[in-house]
Chain A
Amino acid sequence: MSDANVRRATRAARLRRSIEQTGPAEILLYAVLVAMAGFYLVPIESGLVTSIKTNTAIIETAPFAPPGGEGVTLEKWQAAIDALLRGMGNSLLYAVPATVLSAVLGSITAYGLTMPNWSRAYKAPLIALIVAGIFIPYQAVLVPLTQFWSQWVQLTQLLSFLWGFGIPNDYAGIIELVITHVAYGLPICTLLFRTYYKTMSTEMIESARLDGASLRRVYRRIVLPLSGPMFAVVLIYQFTQIWNDLLFTLVLVSTESSPAAPVVLILAGLGSSLEGQDFALRMAGAFFAALPTLAVYIFFGEEFAEGVSA
């Protein structure tokens, strides 16, 4: 990483020299950059200040202004947390296993398609099929998916021993979500690992193979220990994707009143009622639901950027 930073710095210095930057032009450049930063931050910032305002302050102050005379209230946050807390637990319950599983499987698949020696004529179509899987609009698989989980593989019956322990059988939906997210997450995880493995030096692997090491041994001893940085990227990217997804939760868990309802599902219906919309409650809920992904982004922004730009 530091290497890249040094390269970037020297490049920047050369660019500065090569593109003559006069005073006013530079001021204008920074003005545009700051204005754009405002454009991205204002919706988020106004959501945050709105979530801590009283109902009168929301009408009387500007949406982006801090709370006025009445001061800060946390009651909306309390209400939002009350409504969403069980959803947070449910979301973690499927997002974490699905993230880990799809990353591990993606690494294994990418290794099998990259390092071992077999004909590219057969590899390329396989890889094309996998890459195409990243771009499938999931609407095209929803009806069969519903059929599959409701008629063919009925987890509520298969796992009946679990429900005997007092776990509501709605939690079958959580297990369905894990398997579904792993299946549809595999293509992107495989591609991310493959781009990484393609750049890995093959010398060690070749000499290990000449010494008669099996492919499994090469993976465990050489490839896996070197995969750390990419695991960070894939885990972060996948966690964000799975946590943020609404479509599959809507189809597989369906009602926000279900005990197994994930946080996005509850949030989608939060704060609307016949009396109108409680915006402060919605904003507090939106922030609370976004906390895990926001935290991940703030701490691992570089890895996230690498994941999305692959």
Chain B
Amino acid sequence: MFDLYRRLSGALGRSSQDDEARTDGGVVSDRSAPDPGSESEPGPLARAGAAVDRRFGSDFFESSLFWLPPFLLMALFVYGAIIWNLLISLTEYQGFANAPDYSNLDFSMYARALGDTGFIDAAVNTLILLVAFTGATLAVGLVLAILIDRGIRFENAFRTIYLLPMSLSFVVTAQFWLWMYNFNNGIVNLLLGVVGIGPISFLGNQTIVLWAVIFALMWQFSGYAMVVYLAGLRAIPTEHYEAAQVDGASTLKMYWRVIIPQLKGATISAAVVLMVFGMKAFDFLYSLVGGYRPPNGADILATKMVREAYANLNWAYGAAIAIVLFAMALGVIGPYLVYEYRRDNL
């Protein structure tokens, strides 16, 4: 396979007259082992190869063997599947039929979603969860990062403890929080009892349950926000602190005016990742009840989609909900990728 490639790129003639200015090296003019086919003077094929090289860069062909097959595997599973999913969402596919009928495509499933109060509720809950969870997690993470960055002792121990929940599965943390929120014996109700608020059924109360879930997710991911902010803080030169100190700014003012504005990049990348985590909170909600229907009031698009498709066998409807969820994710990822591209980070 490799040899074929060598021969092919040899036959296509790595033109040594390719005299464009190079920034990242890699001119190959004389091969130590001459390839058969490249010894003769350049034929039409070689000229075409030289043109391709000029357009794509001299290593384009040889390097494609490294990135193309994995890229195709990924593209098939990610982008191929999304396009296919879009097609399925335009059919009426449901029940035990083996395959969707692609003969008449329409938007009926999307119309059905708009008329389904369950869908509207789930969409609203998804948005609340994204905003509240991301905001709370970033805030806690930022405070933790600032405290840890004050030149404290036992820094590694504190960092390790704060990040620990992130290494656990949603299925595992859901068990812990079921126990924390337990009506009779849960720690949360125990603490509330101390201040005289009598036991609350966190997972049984429709208006509270979503906030209980958001709090638990914040517990799991604020360590992650801390790690990202810490990296951002460590990139700020110490002189900035000292300069603010010389100007006589108070510590709070210094952070607010000088330090936090420099953490914009860290905030953006952490927020994007957290929003995506929030959308994927399916695992956590499924594990709370051990089934497709999360507690009343905590249904989000991710859980509703899986339930419609896999519990009710409404495949096309599930696919349509998935497209809505994907569009939401795209609204977050799209601008982020443009931002990264502009900063030359890709």
Report the separation of the CA atoms of residues A112 and B62 in the bound assembly, to the nearest whole angstrom. 9
**Complex contact A130–B152 (CB within 8 A):** no
What interface size band does chain B fall in? Answer: 35 or more
**Complex contact B238–A37 (CB within 8 A):** no
A33 at the interface (CB under 8 A from B): yes
Name the contact of A58 in the complex, choosing from B2, B185, B310 (C-beta under 8 A): B185
Report the separation of the CA atoms of residues A232 and B223 in the bound assembly, to the nearest whole angstrom. 21
Stretch from B39-47, B78-86, B131-139, B205-213 at the A interface: B78-86
User: A117-B58, A124-B341, A186-B74 are contacts. A215–B152 as well, Cβ < 8 Å?
Assistant: no
Q: Interface centre among B77, B166, B241, by most A CB within 10 Å? A: B77
**Complex contact B158–A143 (CB within 8 A):** no
Which residue of chain A is the closest to B83 with respect to CB atoms? A144
Which residue of chain B is the closest to A38 with respect to CB atoms? B161
User: A129-B79, A186-B74, A206-B25 are contacts. A144–B30 as well, Cβ < 8 Å?
Assistant: no
B165 partner residues in chain A, CB cutoff 8 A: 40, 43-44
**Complex contact A247–B283 (CB within 8 A):** yes
B306 at the interface (CB under 8 A from A): yes
**Complex contact B63–A297 (CB within 8 A):** no
**Complex contact A44–B176 (CB within 8 A):** yes
Stretch from A68-76, A162-170, A277-285 at the B interface: A277-285
**Complex contact B169–A137 (CB within 8 A):** no
**Complex contact A63–B151 (CB within 8 A):** no
Within 8 A of B (CB), among A203-232: 205-206, 209-212, 214-216, 219
Report the minimum CB–CB distance from B204 to chain A (whole Å): 13
**Complex contact A140–B175 (CB within 8 A):** no
**Complex contact A36–B60 (CB within 8 A):** no
**Complex contact B74–A128 (CB within 8 A):** no
User: A139-B325, A282-B175, A297-B167 are contacts. A18–B241 as well, Cβ < 8 Å?
Assistant: yes
Within 8 A of B (CB), among A35-78: 36-37, 39-44, 46-47, 50, 58-59, 62-64
B81 partner residues in chain A, CB cutoff 8 A: 140-141, 144-145, 148
**Complex contact A29–B187 (CB within 8 A):** no
A-B contact count (CB 8 A): 358
Within 8 A of B (CB), among A130-160: 130-133, 135-148, 151
B309 at the interface (CB under 8 A from A): yes
A293 at the interface (CB under 8 A from B): yes
User: A124-B346, A128-B346, A144-B84 are contacts. A184–B78 as well, Cβ < 8 Å?
Assistant: yes
**Complex contact B227–A116 (CB within 8 A):** no
User: A209-B28, A215-B59 are contacts. A128–B341 as well, Cβ < 8 Å?
Assistant: yes
Report the separation of the CA atoms of residues A190 and B283 in the bound assembly, to the nearest whole angstrom. 25
Name the contact of B329 in the complex, choosing from A16, A129, A137 (C-beta under 8 A): A137
User: A214-B6, A268-B286 are contacts. A33–B306 as well, Cβ < 8 Å?
Assistant: no
**Complex contact B179–A108 (CB within 8 A):** no
User: A211-B32, A267-B172 are contacts. A184–B144 as well, Cβ < 8 Å?
Assistant: no
**Complex contact B150–A111 (CB within 8 A):** no
Which residue of chain A is the closest to B89 with respect to CB atoms? A143
**Complex contact A50–B179 (CB within 8 A):** yes
A79 partner residues in chain B, CB cutoff 8 A: none
B170 partner residues in chain A, CB cutoff 8 A: 244, 246
**Complex contact B64–A112 (CB within 8 A):** yes
Name the contact of B71 in the complex, choosing from A109, A272, A286 (C-beta under 8 A): A109
Which residue of chain A is the closest to B87 with respect to CB atoms? A144
Report the separation of the CA atoms of residues A29 and B340 in the bound assembly, to the nearest whole angstrom. 36
Contact digits for B1-38, partner A, Cβ 8 Å, 1 yes 0 no: 01000100000000000000010111110111100000
User: A33-B152, A135-B333, A142-B306 are contacts. A43–B25 as well, Cβ < 8 Å?
Assistant: no
B276 at the interface (CB under 8 A from A): yes
**Complex contact A18–B329 (CB within 8 A):** no
B185 partner residues in chain A, CB cutoff 8 A: 58-59, 63, 279
**Complex contact B187–A64 (CB within 8 A):** yes
Which residue of chain B is the closest to A32 with respect to CB atoms? B147
Report the separation of the CA atoms of residues A127 and B24 in the bound assembly, to the nearest whole angstrom. 18
User: A108-B70, A137-B326 are contacts. A305–B175 as well, Cβ < 8 Å?
Assistant: no
Which residue of chain B is the closest to A185 with respect to CB atoms? B74
Contact digits for A258-297, partner B, Cβ 8 Å, 1 yes 0 no: 0000001001111010000101001101110110011011
B329 partner residues in chain A, CB cutoff 8 A: 135-137, 140
Report the minimum CB–CB distance from A232 to chain B (whole Å): 15
**Complex contact B169–A264 (CB within 8 A):** yes
Report the minimum CB–CB distance from A263 to chain B (whole Å): 9
Contact digits for A298-310, partner B, Cβ 8 Å, 1 yes 0 no: 0001001100110
User: A137-B325, A138-B280, A247-B282 are contacts. A296–B32 as well, Cβ < 8 Å?
Assistant: no
**Complex contact A183–B302 (CB within 8 A):** no
A6 at the interface (CB under 8 A from B): no
Contact digits for B154-187, partner A, Cβ 8 Å, 1 yes 0 no: 0100111111111111111111111110101111
Which residue of chain A is the closest to B30 with respect to CB atoms? A212
Report the separation of the CA atoms of residues A62 and B188 in the bound assembly, to the nearest whole angstrom. 11
Report the separation of the CA atoms of residues A16 and B74 in the bound assembly, to the nearest whole angstrom. 48
Which 3 pairs of residues, A with B, have the shortest CB-CB distance?
Answer: A112-B66, A118-B57, A12-B151
Given contacts A112-B66, A215-B66, 17 further A-B contacts (CB under 8 A): A8-B155, A15-B238, A33-B148, A36-B147, A41-B161, A62-B187, A105-B73, A128-B341, A129-B79, A130-B71, A133-B74, A144-B85, A184-B77, A206-B26, A210-B28, A214-B6, A308-B166
Q: Can you name 17 A-B pairs with beta carbons within 8 Å?
A: A43-B180, A108-B67, A116-B26, A117-B59, A118-B56, A135-B276, A143-B319, A144-B81, A144-B82, A147-B84, A186-B74, A187-B74, A212-B28, A264-B171, A283-B179, A286-B176, A305-B163
